A and B are shown apart, each in its own frame.
Chain A
Amino acid sequence: QLQLQESGPGLVKPSETLSLTCSVSGASMISTTYYWGWIRQPPGKGLEWIGSIYYTGSTYYNPSLRSRITMSADTSKKKFTLNVRSVTAADTAVYYCARQVLLLLDGYNHLDYWGQGTLVMVSS
């Protein structure tokens, strides 16, 4: 059974870089069907799609965050990471990693497995 687990610091100072890692177990990251994604939920607000990465390193990013984020993947370690630069209080959120089915020609774009989420607070 596929499992995803987020890890990273729970507290980040304003203007610094937020770095999170998602560990994948129960399946290989190498697949022509799946991307590996990040989603966040600020306190009291809805879900926001951040971006997704293919095992080759190809990425799709949320246009509103593109200038500040970088995603990478290490298939040998079965981990993928998210970096958010120059964070502010608005980046405080529960961050989820998930597996994304992206078969756009077939019309599929859903997130089928999710991690439990990790709360990251941005505060001095």
Chain B
Amino acid sequence: QSVLTQPPSASGTPGQRVTISCSGSSSNIGTNTVNWYQHLPGTAPKLLIYGNNQRPSGVPDRFSGSKSGTSASLAISGLQSEDEADYYCASWDDSLHGVFGGGTKLTVL
């Protein structure tokens, strides 16, 4: 059972906009920033969004993040086939440890 809650799956067609939600609590998302990672099987997870809505260099602006209260969202616009992957939200808990969501498997139809 993961500390942060994500839907297990999401899907969309090429060109569509999809969003993935992440729900936490006042001790993690409510008081700390949210990060998003993209994970392709057999590879290292890749940082996609940090600090709720900031993109590392090289991450396309099709990816965006937002946070409100104890929830966060990742939005992917102009969906592409190479976006098919697992997506994880993560944050920090006030009891001084990291927390992850259970992951969302994104399928591009």
Q: How far is the CA of A114 from the CA of B88 in the complex (A)?
A: 14
Q: CB-CB contacts of A37-58 with B at 8 A, as 1s and 0s?
A: 1010000001111011000000
Using known A-B contacts A107-B33, A110-B51, A112-B50, determine if residue A46 contacts B88 with beta carbons closer than 8 Å. yes
Establish whether residues A107 and B45, one from each chain, have CB atoms under 8 Å apart when the complex forms. no
Assuming the A-B contacts A49-B99, A49-B100, are A112 and B91 also in contact, with contact meaning beta carbons closer than 8 angstroms in the complex?
no
Binds A, one of B9-17, B19-27, B35-43, B75-83: B35-43
CA distance A112 to B48 in the complex (A): 9
- Provide a sorted-by-A list of 27 A–B residue pairs whose CB atoms are within 8 angstroms: A39-B45, A46-B2, A46-B101, A47-B39, A47-B88, A49-B99, A52-B98, A60-B96, A62-B97, A62-B98, A63-B95, A101-B50, A104-B32, A104-B92, A107-B32, A108-B50, A109-B35, A109-B91, A109-B98, A110-B35, A110-B47, A111-B35, A111-B45, A111-B90, A112-B50, A114-B46, A115-B44
With CB as the reference atom, state the residue of chain B lying closest to A49: B98
B51: chain A residues within 8 A (beta carbon): 107-108, 110
Q: Which residues of B contact A46 (CB under 8 A)?
A: 2, 86, 88, 100-103
Contact B97 A49 (CB under 8 A): yes
Say which residue of A96, A112, A116 sits within 8 Å of B56 (CB atoms). Answer: A112
Binding site for A on B (CB under 8 A): 2, 32-33, 35, 37, 39, 43-47, 50-51, 56, 86, 88, 90-92, 95-103
Complex A-B, nearest 10 residue pairs according to Cβ-Cβ distance, in ascending order: A49-B98, A110-B50, A109-B92, A114-B44, A46-B103, A110-B35, A107-B33, A46-B102, A47-B100, A112-B47
**B56 proximity list for chain A (CB < 8 A):** 112
Give the CA-CA distance A100 to B90 in the complex, in Å: 12
Check A96 against B91 for contact (C-beta < 8 Å): no
| Contact (Cβ within 8 A) B45 A37 | no
Query: How far in angstroms is the closest Cβ of chain B from A10?
Result: 16
Q: Is the CB of B33 within 8 A of A108?
A: yes
The CA of A104 and the CA of B93, in the complex, are separated in Å by 10
Chain B residue contacts of A51, Cβ below 8 A: 97
